Amino acid sequence: MWQMMGSSVRGPAHRRAGQPNQDAWLSRQNRAFALAVIADGLGSRPHAAAGSRAACRAVAEAARAWSAAPGAPPDLLLRLIHALWNIRVHALGAGDSSTTCAFALAVRDGPLLLAQLGDGLVLARCGGDVILLEPPAERFGNTTTGLGIATDLREWRYHLAPRPPGPAAILLATDGIADDLLPDRRLDLLDALIDRHGSMPRGECSRLIGSMLRAWPTPGHRDDKTLAILWRTEALEGQ
């Protein structure tokens, strides 16, 4: 049984400018899969907020189809995400709605797929393995690709674990968080959030994380901030 927590808050720059939070997140759990998605609408695009929300819904919709087709390659899921997102933002214009997208999808009795398009952070501890997805170091902050920009599926980074046994914990974070984290403390943050807040009712947990994100300590921070965590404490049945 997977558990989830997360929150998304508007950053100081958008608060000062009277603009909405352009990040979004979504979590879903049903009989077929557990899913957490985050998206960071690109600030320069007029419909970035709608684009990030559309990305979350597109991933959830695509996950339903992909999880029902055991053995289907991740490429098919990613193509479907692009197609569904393009349909959702068609009236607004894909170029005006561009957004990053990252998700963790755990299919029941099936694989765990971690995927990322654009900047931000995906960090997972599965058994003894640590999996890290993040953009190349030769970038600068706030420069990225995303839905509405990428023209090739190879711009996605992903990791597919066939059927990861045992406890697992996954952190998804937009760049407003990821770029300010000390690299060697990221796993500690994941563990601390689960330890301190994992047993709380979900709404209370979300509010508490939101309060923490609003009081972000890095000087001069400005970005919207979104964090989602998916974790499982027990081993899979039969393993």
Binding interface with other proteins (CB under 8 A): 12-14, 16-17, 19, 43-44, 135, 137-143, 179-182, 185-186, 188-189, 192-193, 196, 212, 215-222
CB of 51 to other proteins, least distance (A): 15
Contact criterion met (CB below 8 Å) for 165 and 101: no
**119 exposed, middle or buried (CB, 10 Å; 0-12, 13-18, 19+)?**
buried
CB of 104 to other proteins, least distance (A): 20
Closer of 77 and 117 to other proteins (Cβ): 117
> For residue 38, what is the enclosing H or E element?
strand 33-40
Closer of 76 and 181 to other proteins (Cβ): 181
CB of 219 to other proteins, least distance (A): 4
The distance from CA 180 to its chain's CA centroid, rounded to whole angstroms, is 17
Closer of 30 and 218 to other proteins (Cβ): 218
CB of 129 to other proteins, least distance (A): 22
Q: Give me the phi and psi of 50, to 5 degrees please.
A: -65, -35
CB of 155 to other proteins, least distance (A): 17
Closer of 17 and 87 to other proteins (Cβ): 17
Closer of 1 and 182 to other proteins (Cβ): 182
What is the distance between the alpha carbons of residues 110 and 236, in angstroms, rounded to a whole number? 11
Q: What sign results for the dihedral spanned by CA atoms 177, 181, 184, 186?
A: negative
What is the distance between the alpha carbons of residues 127 and 168, in angstroms, rounded to a whole number? 6
